[in-house]
A and B are shown apart, each in its own frame.
Chain A
Amino acid sequence: MISYIFKRILYMIPTLVLTSILVFTLIELPPGDYFESYVNELQAAGETVDPKLIEYLRAEYGFDKPIWERYFQWATGMLVGDFGYSFEYELPVREVIGDRLLFTIIVTFVTVIFTWLIAFPIGIYSATHQYSWGDYGLTFLGLLGLAIPNFLLALIMMFLANEWFGTTIGGLIDPEFVGQPFSWAKFVSVLEHLWIPVIVIGTSGTAAMIRRVRANLLDELRKPYVTTARAKGMPEFRGLMKYPFRMSLNFFIADIGGILPTVISGAEIVAIVLSLETTGPILIQALQSQDMYLAGSFLMLLGFLTVIGVLISDIALAFLDPRIRLQGGVSR
């Protein structure tokens, strides 16, 4: 098992190198660079720009060097935690992202837990009571959540929250706490605001999750080992949990790998509508304004989280499923 994990981590290195080359090529592909779009912006606003200053800035940030040299600088910088400089914010990338990462992780984590808490019981109920009124009713509710556009739901919820509870519009905290050190009052304020994005983002994911839990469990419920368990005298619910449910979890564990990247990139539109202090809106902004180091670092972080997520999934699968563990050439 140890050697398996070690091998998997080794595989990550070439994957990440390839990803970084791909990301760098992608952000280099559009014609021009940040300074060009900056100059265009200023000229559009009617201001004059000193071309010498732009030339100086270009040289300063290494834009006159060949592309492979800049890639090398960027890639090696990341190894020591230097992600480059964001031109737009005029701050190191790390500082731009760092502040918002905590909020993003809180929102995503709570949303994921919310989705699971709702989707699993409903999925199990739907599978065990297939084609019943309960199955249809709950599935309908789930699909309704999927069908309502997120931004619309976000606007409605924000309005209602303000009408009924007096919650301030937008953001994750009341304005008075911005920049304040963390305190109990600030925490309560976060909770007051948090439920809106959690429900808005969560409803869309729940329906898909219910359908997947239901479909996977239905497949397993028809397997002969379920009959074996019943013939042994196993109580229904215990048998359900020990055998078919456990088997149906494989898809779910394999899914965990996909959740990690959404921690920083998920639900951008909702975040913009609700003006959440998360990373999603920054990513979009950075891509629009060709703020290349910020965008590149974001994409790289996404790639890294994907690779880590898949690693976690694979290790968890190997732990939970002896077929993967023992047939994959891993010793007991």
Chain B
Amino acid sequence: MSVSSALLEVKDLKVSFNLQKGKIEAVKGVSFSVNPGEVVAIVGESGSGKSVIAQSILRILPGNANIDGGHILFNDPATSENSIDLAGLDAKDQYLYEVRGGRISMVFQEPMTALSPLHTIGNQVEEALVLHHTKTSKEARADTEETLRLVGFPNPELGYEMYPFELSGGLRQRAVIAMALICNPAMVIADEPTTALDVTVQAQILGLMKELQKKFNTAILMITHDLGVVANMADKVVVVYHGSVMEAGDVEEIFRRPQHPYLKALMAAIPHFDMKEGERLVSLRDSDADKSTKTIHKLAAKFKADDLGDVQGPHLKVENLRKEFSTNKGSWFGSGESNTLIAVDNVSFEINKGECLGLVGESGSGKTTVSKLIMKALQTTSGSVSLNTANGMCDVLSLSGQELMAFRRKVQMIFQDPFSSLNPRMTIQNILSEPFVVHGLNHKNGCQQDILDLIKLVGLEPHVLNRYPHSFSGGQRQRIGIARALALHPELMICDEPVSALDVSVQAQILNLLNDLRKELGLTSLFISHNLAVVNYVADRIAVMCQGKLVEIASREQLFANPHHPYTKSLLSAVPYPDLDRLLDFENIKYTSSMEADDWGAAFKSSSEAGLESIKVDDGHYVLANSNCKISEIRA
């Protein structure tokens, strides 16, 4: 074996899967190396084979996968021996069990499912230690608690006894990191370690990984699809596409001088904050972009929403909306304790005709609940929702019967998950004709031409109508979902995270489609997303939600240039940009954890004398603050 300085050297690795259809080559000759203490990122879209590479290194591939060729040379600095080819070892080789968790460990994507729900955090973290080192149970427990402290558990003794479901997503991921670090390995493989986390938590976890990596000089092999994460973490980058390396090199080279067309296209497809007015995303593999814009223009007149005429006022007005969920643990004997959770707390906003309001917030902030309340899919606790109609403002929440049906035609929804939002047993024809059937508009086959036009409108060919959803890709399904929403000429479109389940390249196509449709059809829309860059690309105004409250609302330019609320600021500062000149300030994120309401300034907290109120700081810019505070305090 050759003697090299690299900690891990992957040479011409080939992996294939045996499926019923035949053999699928997932990795086709990939080579790269990781030096001690270095962070190497493997970037690619879903299906590019990046996770398969990671699993091959630890030899934990699924049963139907085979390593067909190549070498994975691991040169353990802790031993003076020559490097060992992990790919060449027998699957039951004792050395593999020593390497796994001991010398190379792994951090997984989804911290909830990566931990067993039946065992305590302490048990699972400690296990990694006990498997590789002989320790008394007392020593092991002390070491485990120390590691938990290191990864930021506020109370390690208590954390040791907790079960995964009792912890927040961020703490769970910290536990997984503790499990990976407890044996002080030479390398950690992190497979999408922050994809399932909220943006502020992501920033914390990335900061933690960076800090620990420096402290212990551990190498990290980071698998991700997010170029923003890569720019902030990696020393070296390997770009993979369809199982082959497209481009590899230092992070500087990759971001400043991308060479390969695939990489260039990938960078152009990501929405970023410096986009000029009217600038479009360039999506990959979408050669007909111009044609689709023309089709939309041609068909637009037909699907335009009914004109409201010269009515005054906003299109949709939401006032003091409040939703409480109560969990009643009642029993046959006595009423039991009841807990009330306030999901939406005094939320007010307006959307003007033809405008797109972006609603941003982390998971659990109540943004989806707001959309359901507007749709009247949930019963509102208090507050009002009114929609502008030809007869003036109409109270949505009091509608019933025929009026409610008429309202349903005006407001339509596009869902997050294109896989579960289409019935797998209905053809596309059935899916698209269903809105007409439900509303009794399918008389004399009158809707067939509409369906044909709809499918063209979203950029698909009419011959797809006889197929079932399973034969479409995620992006195509989302187009079908959009067509279904447009069938009844809605006035208001609610998009609930429409692109968060899609790959970067497809995301760009769908965002462009939504933007074109919105402009041509004159749709008013509410765009819900956790991704600030996406909201920045589509929205005219942006509202920020935190723990059920709407903390700031402003035009896009105002919000990004001049955020006032501490939560908005922390949200903006936590977004990883795919730009080497705007790296995350990990130090600050660590020390000013302004995601918590406790750390906000006095001006943003309610006091005993005065509650919170939406205060106007600028034209169209409102911030939720103490009703007694001065505007200068908010601006400070």
Contact = CB atoms under 8 A, between A and B. Distances in A.
Interface in B53-104: 55, 58, 60, 97-102
Contacts of A329: 329, 336-337
B372 to A, nearest CB: 24
A323 B102 contact: no
B309 to A, nearest CB: 54
Interface stretch (B126-134, B291-299, B548-556, B576-584): B126-134
A275 interface: no
A288 to B, nearest CB: 38
B163 A231 contact: no
Given A11-B332, A322-B163, A326-B163, A232 B131 contact: yes
B118 A320 contact: yes
Interface in A209-247: 223-225, 227-235, 242-243, 246-247
Contacts of B166: 326
A11 B334 CA distance: 13
B402 interface: no
Contacts of B106: 228, 231
Given A7-B331, A327-B165, A232 B117 contact: no
Given A231-B60, A235-B97, A224 B331 contact: no
A224 B132 contact: no
Interface stretch (B107-115, B279-287, B593-601): B107-115
Given A11-B332, A323-B163, A233 B132 contact: yes
A290 B101 CA distance: 69
A322 B162 CA distance: 10
The residue among A229, A232, A321, A323 with the most chain B CB atoms within 10 A of its own CB is: A232
A14 interface: yes
A230 B117 contact: no
A327 B163 CA distance: 11
A246 B118 contact: yes
Contacts of A247: 116-118
A264 B127 CA distance: 45
B115 A228 contact: yes
A10 interface: yes
Interface residues of B, number: 38
Given A323-B165, A326-B163, A327-B165, A228 B100 contact: no
B116 A243 contact: yes
A234 B131 contact: yes
Given A14-B332, A227-B60, A228-B108, A233 B113 contact: no
Interface in B125-177: 127-128, 131-132, 163, 165-166, 176
Nearest to A228: B114
A322 B332 contact: no
Contacts, number: 83
A225 B127 CA distance: 13
B115 A225 contact: yes
A310 to B, nearest CB: 16
Nearest to B117: A323
The residue among A224, A234, A242, A327 with the most chain B CB atoms within 10 A of its own CB is: A224
B105 A231 contact: yes
A7 B333 CA distance: 9
Contacts of B357: none
B507 to A, nearest CB: 25
A320 B165 CA distance: 15
Nearest to A10: B333
Contacts of A223: 113
The residue among B116, B165, B179 with the most chain A CB atoms within 10 A of its own CB is: B116
Nearest to B94: A235
A122 to B, nearest CB: 19
B108 A224 contact: yes
A233 B329 contact: no
Given A225-B116, A227-B60, A321-B118, A233 B332 contact: no
A227 B165 contact: no
A233 B131 contact: yes
Contacts of A322: 117-118, 120, 163, 165
A231 B100 contact: yes
A233 B117 contact: no
Contact of A230 (B100, B124, B176): B100
B110 A233 contact: no
A233 B101 contact: yes
Contacts of A225: 113-116
Contacts of A243: 116, 119
Interface string A310-332: 00000000001111001101000
A247 B166 CA distance: 18
Nearest to B128: A232
Contacts of B132: 233
Contact of B127 (A227, A234, A320, A323): A234
Contacts of A232: 100-101, 105, 127-128, 131, 179
A230 B128 CA distance: 10
16 contacts: A224-B108, A225-B114, A225-B115, A227-B60, A229-B116, A231-B100, A232-B100, A232-B179, A233-B128, A243-B119, A246-B118, A247-B116, A321-B117, A323-B163, A323-B165, A329-B337
Interface of B: 55, 58, 60, 97-102, 105-106, 108-110, 113-120, 124, 127-128, 131-132, 163, 165-166, 176, 179, 329, 331-333, 336-337
Top 9 A-B residue pairs of the complex, sorted by shortest distance between their CB atoms: A232-B101, A233-B101, A233-B100, A231-B106, A224-B113, A225-B116, A232-B128, A230-B60, A322-B163
Given A232-B127, A322-B118, 13 more contacts: A223-B113, A224-B108, A224-B110, A228-B108, A231-B60, A231-B105, A232-B179, A233-B128, A233-B131, A234-B127, A322-B120, A323-B163, A323-B165
